[in-house]
Each structure stands twice: as structure tokens, then as C-alpha cells.
Structure 1
């Protein structure tokens, strides 16, 4: 079998549908139970949910579990997806090579790359193949681990399994590392080895030229696609092309690409609708944005939270608060589960327009309907009040955010911290700076930079702190150099 061209996901799904009678209602019901699990915190596992489901006399097929894993993974619920695979393993449900690769990727997301490496090492030799090698390579590339990625890629080349997916992973790595100039040589390497470029390859090839601010290079790649393999062009190609034009400020060319996107996408492609909405907002085409949203709602029976999120973000970008309120209300009336991301999008838009009461109302609603965490929302309020010189209100929201932090899962925005310290220094407010340091210490964010700012505030206020050296040493702060000179000024004669 020739694995040099990846099999489209749609083709795989079509084969599954042809070989198994799918109970859509069962998949939906099971997925709703599993998706309700909180990604962090809580004690109920996906395995416990599945056990209860089976105890109710329901049958669970591998196809249903695979679909749930795919959806959970799509929405970033890697821990729950991994727990399903662990449940399958305990019950001796046969894994394919693709399943082993999926599990490896989930382990990396949920437990870290070291755990994924251990899992790979434990696999039977037969399962150390292009799928699992490719999954491990993808983990390294996503983690920006260039040395390990290149070493593994070299080994895959030696085994003659470095096909399209492997090259695409390396291209992703270099784009993540902001090294777009390294992508074209990879494309040339594929061509020398007679390895076919797929749609993803071409899209990243175009993206590399966009990263180099070479719009002519982008267009040249597109022309190559048209000439060499027109079948690789789909709606994602036009979406990428439009985004590059938006970046270059070529709005008319972007609009033309978006019209081509609509011709290619099909009427029920929700993902394509999202790109259209976001990109039309990017070129300030409000009329087109609302037309596409109306088309989405008329062509799809249900609209998921992610589409509502994209629409709210687009309306916020265009400062269309009235339409945002209407869309928010539509979501409230139709939602099957509360999504904190939508609340955050609304809060951003309301604060951007100075509508504090509306933003606070959304936060209160979110706190009533969600278990949180609410770090991001409170950070938005912190930043807003700091920018409007309402420091006491800003500090209140930062304190509220820090109060719910567990296991260092969130840190304050460094720019906000700098603004706080600058204000306290200007006002010679030592008490305010000390209060901020106490908050930072609670989330292990009291570093040398924070102490430097605290010392500057003491110096500006002309106050002494005889115990400061002891405090700093207890917190592991190096008191040499510039910070040491400041320290001497606040120690007094002690």
C-alpha cells in the first residue's frame, strides 16, 4: 500500500459508515455524558461514565468510542479521551496501528512528552511503524523540540517511512519556530524523493512565503498547485490564500479568494463557515459577514458553540455590539451546554466598548452556569481597569483570579504586573506594591523582576525595609548586581 499520500478523513469515515450500522442517537447521548466531564478538577472519570452507561444495559461499539474520542480531542479534552482509550485497553478491545498512534498523541497532551516517549518504547515492535513514529514526531514538532524531531525524522528516513505526514510535521515545527525560510527546502526534499505534496503541504508552503512577507511567492505556489495537481486545491486552500491577503492588506484579493472558498465548501461545511466569518471580519465586510451567518443558520439544523464563538469574536472585532447582543441571546436560547469561551468573547467586546455593566453581567451569568475557572475573564477586567487608571478595581479582579488558582495553572499577565508596579512607584505607594507582591507569591510569580520593582517603589517613597535581604534570599532571589545596589538603599544602617 502506498502511504505517500494521506487518506482524506472523509474517505475513512465513509468506509466506516459503509461497514457498520451507526446509531447516531447513541453516539450523541454517550458523547454528551463524556463531554460534560470537566477537563481539570472533579473526580469522575470517563471510565466511570462508561461503566455506568454499560450497567444501564447499553451496548458500546468501538466505532461509537472512536467518534467520542475524536470529538473530545477536537475540543481539547485530551484527558477524557485518553481515559476512554485506557478503558478500551482494560477491556481488551483491539487497537489498530492508528489507535496506538492516537493514544500516544493523547498521552503527550495529557501527561507530557516524556510519558509519550515511555509509551512508544513499551509498544510491541510490530506497532513501531509509520503511524506511531509519525505520532511521536508530531509530538516533538508541536512541542518545538527541534533536535529530537530531526533525529527521529532521520530514523524514519532510514526506515523508508518518512512520507508526506512526516514532512508536514517538520514544516509545522519550523512555522511554529518562526523559521519559514526552512519550509521551501523541505518541499524540494519531498520532490527529490518523489513524495507527493498534499493540500496541507501546499498550504504550509504558501504560509512560509507569507511569513517571509513574499506575497508573490504565495501566488506562485498557488499557481503551481493549479498547474501540477489541481485536485489538491480545496476550500482550505482558498481560506489560507485569503488569510495571507488579509495579512498583506490586499482586501480585494482576499474577498475574491473568499468567494472561491464559498464555491468550493458545500452548504453544510460548518468549519468553512467559521473561516468565512472570521476572514470577512478581518476585511471589515460586515454585510458579507451577516450574509454568511444567515446562510449557516439556514443550512444547518444545529449550530455548535464554536461557531457561535467565532461569530461573537467577529462582531467584537467590528465593534457591532448590537448584533453581538442578539447573537449572544440566540446562543443562550439554543445552547445544550454552557461554554465559558463565549462568555469571555462577549466580555472582551463589551469592555472594548466601555460597557462595564454588561461585561460584569456576563461574568455573573458565567459564574452561575459554569464551574470555571474564570482566570481569563478576570484578567480582562484587570487589564481594562488598569488601562483606565482604576487601580483598586483592577487589583480586586486580580486578587479574585489568584484566589481560585490551583497548582500554578495560571499566572497574571506580565504587562498588567508592570503597570501595577509603575503606578505604585509613581504614587510612592509601598503598601500597594507589597500587597501586589503577596498576591504574586501565592502563584509563585514573585521573581527578581517583581522584587526589583518593589525596591524601586521603596526608594521612590524614601522608606526602609531592614528585613528585605532576608526576604529575598528566602525567595531564592540573587541580590547581586543592579538589584543589589537598590537593596542597599532600602536596608538602612542594619
Structure 2
């Protein structure tokens, strides 16, 4: 299978390859045409039916086709696990257009091939890409295959592939080393990890990378070798500079908190603040770290600092405290945080209401749990699902008190938000109306529903996004 027509080799895209974010995340603007390419292909529910005819018809009608729109569509299809349709778009681009295909595109295509046709086809595609590409792209193609092997647990193939790279004169880069280091950590092979780390440090073609030491620190933590983990974190810090400071410091905060080292958490936080910019993600990392250390006072002070300086209200920050308050039974404090957000004109998101509902359930305030869960369902956003334990408890509570109508309202909301299939919705309603006792029945339905009508639900969500 031919993968690449032309490469636009951009070394800045390599970081996007392994974060799987090569495309824009912006949403369609309000001045977009009423009918988009996305809305045109959304009805293709059956994954066995090709979407190429719809693409061809769009083209024959003389409609505009921009590469960024196709990239955005591929990203949406991958989100909803319509991998074969996403791969079809890449193949259609290859056959019909002369768009530049970036290294990031190569990585995505190989990942899609492995999902649609299996690892063997991805291997063939990866080697083909490597044979035709620039040296950088060859390394990238091998790195993608290394990542696939690692993800699938085929660690025995990693060394052979790295040896093949060296025999063919294809240079290893920092990503190659990090993938292999991660695999060593996954199998707790500290000896292999240490040998590879020494090789990295003496490889003249590769600059030592802070990520590699973070991987090694995680490996030592998994093996409960905290002193060695700290040593790796110190080494990592030496290589964190420039644009990497934000992300690097956030990881250090999390890892030092995992080790229970409050002194280092505050030291790194002070370094973080010297960056001179206000990042919500930094406050998420710091508040989360302090809560992990059970430093509630510090977490609250950091939250107030964020509240007074943020330019964009990010519910991830207060949600951390809301969950912590609920776990400790401090429901009034959790309610106050939600009220403060509302007073500032912010509308709590589904995750916020869900966390509060869980708190009410854990503290046996079921009427409030039901009311709050309804708010969560009404605020549903893409990717969110209600806590199945809380939801099961609420439905069982309503069934137990004989409030069938309210239980059916909850189930109706679940279905309207595509959180359960029609099949499971009917099963839940029948259960609520029956005399059957036992919450295990509801819990089983809620856990199992993800595998039912998954393709249809994905298409429903895709349709909704194409309209908005």
C-alpha cells in the first residue's frame, strides 16, 4: 500500500506525532456553509460501506476541498473510532490531490493501517515509507512501528527493529530511545533500561533529552527505587529549558508529589512561576500535587491565587478541590465553590456536577444526588460519561422509593445525550418498572452499554458536531 506521495519534512512536527495531535483543534466557525463535507459523510453508519462515493460526489459538485478541512475530518473520524473511513480519506487524498503529506500524517496513517488491516500491513507500509523518504522520515517511520510494537506489548521485536535501523544507517533519535526505555520500564527491566540510558548519554548523534530521564524516573518509581528516581529527576531538570519548561516542570510537580516530596514540589512550583506566564495547566498540576500530598491549605491558597489571576476560567482547577472536599465529606465547601463559579457567570460543566453528585451519594444525600446528576446530564459534553456507580445508585434509589417517573426521566436524558443505546435504555426502563431487586443489574447494563451500538453512537455524535 502506497502511503506517501510527497513529504513536507518539518522537524517541528515530530513532537506532534507522538502526542497524536497533528491537526488543528479549532471548531467550525459560524460562517461555514450549512452543508459541510462532514455532514455529507455522517450518515455512513455502516463501517463496511465506503465513504469515497460521497467524497467524489462532493468534488464533482465543484465544492471547495481544503487540506485543513480534510485533516479536521480525519481527526473527528478517529475520535469516533471510524478508523477505516479516516484511512479512506488519506487514500483518497493520495489518489486525487497533490497535498503535501507531513511526517505527522505518515504516523497517523500507519496507526490507522494497524487498526484497520493489522500490524503486518502497518509493518509493510512502514518499511515502504522508510524506503522512499528523507532520513528524518525514515527514522520517523521506524519510530512509529516501534511505538506500535510497544503499545501491543510485542517488546521482543523492538531490539530487532532498532538493530535493523543501525544496520541500514538510519539514525536513532531521542524518540527512539524513549520508546525503548518505556518498554523496559513496562517490563521492570531495570538493567536493560540503564544500559540503554548509558548508550543514549554516549551517542554523539543524539542530544540528551529531559524526557528520557523522566521515563527512567518512572521506571525506578515503579520498582520502588525512590533514590534513583530522584537522581533521574534532577538530571532531567538540567535539560529543561526554553519552551520545554512549562511542560517539563508540570511533570516534575506530579512525580515529586507521587514520591511524597512536598519540599521539591514547592521548589519546582517557584521555578515554574519564573516562566512569567499564567497557565491553567500549571495550576491543575500544582493543586493536584498538593492534594495528593494531603496539603489542603496549600491547595486552597494555590486555588485562590489562580482565581485572582486566570484569564480563562478552567473548571479543571476547582473540580480538583470539589472532588477532594466531597471525599472528605466537606460538601458545604464543595457547594460554595460551585456557587462562586456561577456568581462569576460561569456555567458548571458536566464533570463538575458529576463530582458533586458523587459526593452526595457517598454521604447518603440521595435526593441531592439525583437532582445534581440531572444537571450533569443536561450539561453533557463530548467524551463525558456519568459516574456509573452514582448513576446506578440514583436509579436504584428512585426505583426503591417507587418514583418510576423520575427514574424514567433520568433514563430519557441518558438516551437523548447518546450515553446509552436504545437497547439498554429499554432494558433499564423495564428493570425500573419490574419488581426485580439488586443494583448489580443496573451496574452491569451501564458498564456493558459502551460495546453496544458504538458505531451508531459515534455517527450520532459526528452528526451533532457537523450541525453545531
1:109 aligned to 2:81?
no
Query: Does the CA contact (< 8 Å) of 2:233 and 2:252 recur in 1?
Result: yes
State the shift of 1:208 in Å.
Answer: 1.1
How far, CA to CA, are the matches of 2:181 and 2:113 in structure 1?
19
Alpha-carbon distance between aligned partners in 2 of 1:253 and 1:143, rounded to the nearest angstrom: 38
| 1-structure distance, mates of 2:345, 2:169 | 52
- Cα displacement (A) at 1:399: 0.7
Q: Which residue of 1 aligns with 2:129?
A: 156
Query: Which residue is 1:411 aligned to?
Result: 385
Matched, 1:327 2:297: no
Secondary structure, in 3 states, of the residue corresponding to 2:252?
helix
What CA deviation, in whole Å up to 9, does each residue of 1:362-415 have, x standing for no partner? 323434557657111112122222333332222212211222347x76432334
3-state secondary structure, aligned to 1:294: helix
TM-score, scaled to structure 1? 0.64
1:355, distance to aligned residue in structure 2 (A): 2.6
Describe the superposition over 1:289-329 as per-residue Cα deviations: whole angstroms up to 9, x where unpaired.
011111222x2222322112211111122221111111111
State the shift of 1:111 in Å: 5.6
**2-structure distance, mates of 1:142, 1:371:** 43
Say if 1:136 and 1:439 are closer, same or farther in 2 by CA, change over 3 A: closer
Partners of 1:181 and 1:208 within 8 A in 2: no
Q: Secondary structure of the equivalent of 1:315?
A: helix
Q: Does 1:217 align with 2:192?
A: yes
**Does structure 2 conserve the Cα–Cα contact (< 8 Å) formed by 1:421 and 1:453?**
no
Taking the aligned partners of 2:367 and 2:373, their CA distance within structure 1 comes to 10
1:318 aligns with 2:261: no
Q: CA separation of 1:418/1:107 partners in 2, compared to 1, >3 Å: closer, same or farther? A: same
1:134 aligns with 2:106: yes
The Cα offsets for residues 5-42 of structure 1, whole Å up to 9 and x where unpaired, read as x9764999xxxxxxxxxxxxxxxxxxxxxxxxx96698
State how far apart, in whole Å, the 1-side matches of 2:221 and 2:89 are. Answer: 43
The question of 1:122 aligning with 2:97 is answered no
Ranges in structure 1 where 5+ consecutive residues have no aligned partner: 1-5, 13-37, 46-89, 463-475, 478-494
The residue aligned with 1:292 is: 268
The one of the two structures with greater contact order (alpha-carbon pairs below 8 A, sep at least 6) is: 2
Establish whether residue 43 from structure 1 lines up as the match of residue 14 from structure 2: no
Tell me which residue corresponds to 1:271. Answer: 247
RMSD of equivalent CA atoms: 4.2
Partner of 1:345: 320
CA distance in 1, matches of 2:206, 2:328: 45
For 1:438, the equivalent position in structure 2 comes to: 412
CA deviations on 1:140-187 (whole Å, 9 max, x unpaired) are 289787556445324424535661212222333344455555544433
- Secondary structure in 2 aligned to 1:354? coil
- TM-score, normalised to structure 2, is 0.67
Q: Secondary structure at the match of 2:386?
A: coil
Question: Residues 182 and 373 from structure 1, CA distance in 2 versus in 1: closer, same or farther, beyond 3 angstroms?
Answer: farther
Distance in 2, matches of 1:117 and 1:245, equals 43
Radius of gyration: which is bigger? Answer: 1
Q: Secondary structure at the match of 2:435?
A: helix
The Cα shift of 1:279 comes to: 0.7
Give the 3 Å change call, closer, same or farther, for CA 434–254 of structure 1 in structure 2. same
Secondary structure of the structure 2 residue equivalent to 1:265: coil
Pick closer, same or farther for the CA change 1:242–1:373 going to 2, 3 Å.
same
Given that 1:277 and 1:292 are in contact with CA atoms closer than 8 Å, whether structure 2 keeps it comes out as: yes
CA distance in 1, matches of 2:123, 2:403: 51
Deviation at 1:209, TM superposition (A): 1.8
> Would you say the 8 A contact 2:107–2:144 is kept in 1?
no
1:252-274 deviation digits (Å, cap 9, x = unpaired) = 22111111122222487222211
Secondary structure of 2:436's aligned partner:
helix
> What CA deviation, in whole Å up to 9, does each residue of 1:445-489 have, x standing for no partner?
155556556655623369xxxxxxxxxxxxx99xxxxxxxxxxxx
* Alignment map for 1:74-85 (pairs within 5 Å): none
